[in-house]
A = this chain, B = another copy of it.
Amino acid sequence: MESLKVELYEEIKKYIFRYLDSEVEFILKVGNYILESGGKRLRPILVLAFAKALGKENTENLYPLAVALEYIHTASLLHDDVVDGADTRRGKASANRVFGNETVVLTGDYMYANALYLFSIYGDIDMIRNVSDTVKKMAEGQLLELKRIGDVDLSEEDYFKILMGKTAVLFGSCCYVGTAFATDKKSLRESAYNYGVKIGLAFQLIDDLLDYTADEKKLGKPTCNDLREGKITYPLLSIMNDLTNEEREFIKKVIRDLTPSKEDIEKVKLIVEEKRGTEKTLEKAKELVMEAIKELEKFPNNKYSKDLEKLAKYIVERDF
């Protein structure tokens, strides 16, 4: 995992700003602002890792595609900030606070379009089908999350659709594109996509778990943020059928409360722990990681495929 991160991060770093070109200076300003705020560049790293796992060493024409997928991520962060009315992102003032909602919406549009444009130059139509489908699902997932706030009857199906849109489908597309760059084999492309989707879901499940269990100081924000915002996540969702009527009514009240008290939050946490919601979430994430690793069986056994296996395992071994 570490070797993958260090080696490919350095490789991608040089290219990350290169394909963001516009004659309109504000687009460069906003684009650079959000790209400079960093992040782990996990998406382009996944793209490169899959191509290399399939023995593709000459990746000159893959960089713009890897970068394009980071631009899609960036565009979704920009629109997300507008949608959430966020004040900060990665410890900096959010782009919407610095540049205004209007500028941020339009720069996001530009970055989405630029990403697809890069695919039309360096990629192929099969990749574009996969990636544009992913952008559709990302918008659907975010919208669904927004609409389900305060909804205590959220179904498991809708919950997973939200996770798909938040992280999983874009991870899937990254793996798909890296593989499609290296091989025509449909089954390999699909396995790569499935690997990405599954680790994305596991990643998000652990994020949702950490929101319940993490050390507030380590997390850098109060726990149970989702709950405070009226969002039901897996730790709670997984025990909804095990609740007494009284517990269910209480949780309904907390979920709909715009400013729940510290005591109420602690009480929900306790219920989740007692009914094993946290264990269930970890089990589900582990299950997905095992499925993801199974998808790698079709790939050659080398340094990169091993690193991809480690990456999947690392997700459920994070500190929580």
Judge whether A125 and B120 touch: CB under 8 Å.
yes
Question: Chain B residue with minimal CB distance to A21?
Answer: B136
Question: Chain B residue with minimal CB distance to A79?
Answer: B105
Interface class of chain A by DSSP: helix
Contacts of A112 in B (CB 8 A): 109, 112-113, 135
**Copy number of this protein in the oligomer?**
2
Query: Which listed residue, B22, B84, B128, B140, touches A140 by the CB 8 Å rule?
Result: B22
A27 lies within 8 A of chain B by Cβ? yes
Query: Which listed residue, B106, B117, B120, B146, touches A146 by the CB 8 Å rule?
Result: B106
Report the Cα distance A108→B201, complex, angstroms.
Answer: 25
Judge whether B22 and A110 touch: CB under 8 Å.
no
A24 lies within 8 A of chain B by Cβ? yes
Contacts of A119 in B (CB 8 A): 128, 132
Interface string of A80-101 (1 = CB under 8 A from B): 0011100000000000000001
Query: Which listed residue, B109, B121, B135, B161, touches A79 by the CB 8 Å rule?
Result: B109
Judge whether B102 and A117 touch: CB under 8 Å.
no
Contacts of A144 in B (CB 8 A): 24
Contacts of A108 in B (CB 8 A): 109
A243 lies within 8 A of chain B by Cβ? no
Query: Which listed residue, B79, B117, B124, touches A106 by the CB 8 Å rule?
Result: B79
A117 in contact with B140 given A82-B101, A109-B79, A146-B106 (CB within 8 Å): no
A185 lies within 8 A of chain B by Cβ? no
A129 in contact with B117 given A24-B140, A140-B23, A143-B27 (CB within 8 Å): yes
Judge whether B113 and A147 touch: CB under 8 Å.
no
Question: Chain B residue with minimal CB distance to A114?
Answer: B136
Contacts of A124 in B (CB 8 A): 125
Question: Chain B residue with minimal CB distance to A142?
Answer: B106
Judge whether A83 and B110 touch: CB under 8 Å.
no
Contacts of A102 in B (CB 8 A): 82-84, 146
Extra A-B contacts (8), CB below 8 Å, given A82-B105, A114-B136: A27-B140, A79-B106, A106-B143, A109-B138, A110-B140, A117-B132, A117-B133, A121-B129
- Interface CB pairs A-B, < 8 A, 25: A23-B140, A24-B144, A27-B143, A79-B105, A79-B106, A83-B101, A83-B102, A102-B146, A103-B146, A103-B147, A106-B142, A106-B143, A106-B146, A107-B143, A109-B138, A113-B133, A113-B135, A116-B116, A116-B132, A117-B129, A117-B132, A117-B136, A119-B132, A120-B125, A120-B132
